[in-house]
Amino acid sequence: MRKALEAKERLSNEELLMLKEGVRRHAKDPRPLASDLQLPKESEEYRDALAKQLSEMPYLRSALIGTGYSSHVLYREKGLRWAKPYTAGRRGAQEAYRARTANAYDFNGSDHWGKTKAKIREILLPRANQLLKLASVQRLLDEALQRGERVLVAGDVVFWYEDDGSVGWQIKSVAPSDEKDGTAIWKEGSILSKNHGRIVVLPYIKEDGETVSGHTKNVAGDGPAKPRHPDHFVTLPFRILKSDLMIGLFGELPYE
């Protein structure tokens, strides 16, 4: 039960990080005044609520207004023109809620959520690489190295120390599991790396009880990962950091 809750928390913090980074990407976008919005008469009562959401997330293409049975979804038609409200069913409300994040990266809330998040991870990877320049991260990694730790997992970011040559610390990504909701439960264990893939599959247990061993690989579009010589295979334990750590660390990065 504890690990299941940790998996849910990990997923929640990852989505919160994506949302916060999405909002930061649009920090300099103009914010429309409530009076600027072009609304049909059916949407007039939602003018102030919509303007409030757009003041925080000006990129929204759909907005969820209200809660429960009284919630409605408004869709942007073009520019400042919005359509009439639609009563939000469960699916419509979920898609509008996801749009808060998806729209920030020019995706739709109705797109496949797992695939959308995978694309957002790719977009955020260059930002993650900048973390290695932060003094707070360098201190964290120096202390880990002194304890003999080579793999630290924070959300979907992996700090990986490569002994081979002069590489040192580098950023890899946690591979999303093939579980439907992405909340597979990680288990204790190690990662056997036979290649230099940039994706780390942590050992986890599927819903049917099958255990997936930890390993490294590349994503499909990258081609095969460069193999290690058998003498250089490495088996490394990993330590999971607080799942909300990345939210604070990303917040320290300047945005160009």
Q: How confident is the model at residue 51 (pLDDT cuts 50, 70, 90)?
A: very high
Of 117, 146, 167, the residue that ends a domain is: 117
**For the residues of 172-227, what is the DSSP string, one character each?**
EEEPPPSSTTS-PEE-S-EEEESB--SEEE--EE-TTS-EE-EEEE--GGG-SPPB
Of 63, 85, 117, the residue that ends a domain is: 117
Whether residues 161 and 246 fall in one domain: yes
Q: How confident is the model at residue 5 (pLDDT cuts 50, 70, 90)?
A: very low
Q: What span, in angstroms and rounded, lies between the C-alpha atoms of 238 and 188?
A: 9
Whether residues 100 and 10 fall in one domain: yes
Q: Could you tell me which residues come within 8 angstroms of residue 7 by beta carbon, excluding any fewer than 6 positions away?
A: 183, 184, 185, 186
Whether residues 11 and 83 fall in one domain: yes
Whether residues 140 and 221 fall in one domain: yes
Whether residues 179 and 240 fall in one domain: yes
How large is the average pLDDT for residues 209-214? 81
The parent domain of residue 196 ranges over 125-252
Closest CA to 65 of 96, 105, 102, 20: 96
Q: How many domains does the chain have?
A: 2
Whether residues 11 and 45 fall in one domain: yes
Closest CA to 19 of 131, 105, 91, 95: 105
Whether residues 77 and 165 fall in one domain: no
pLDDT digits (tens, 9 = 90+) for 122-176: 888 888 888 888 888 899 999 999 999 999 988 778 899 988 766 789 888 887 6
pLDDT digits (tens, 9 = 90+) for 9-18: 555 677 888 8
pTM reported for the whole predicted model: 0.69
SS (H, E, C) 212-226: ECEEEECCHHHCCCC
Whether residues 9 and 93 fall in one domain: yes
Whether residues 93 and 23 fall in one domain: yes
Whether residues 102 and 137 fall in one domain: no
Whether residues 77 and 136 fall in one domain: no
Q: What is the pLDDT at residue 42?
A: 94
Of 67, 88, 117, the residue that ends a domain is: 117
pLDDT at 198 over 50: yes
Whether residues 86 and 157 fall in one domain: no
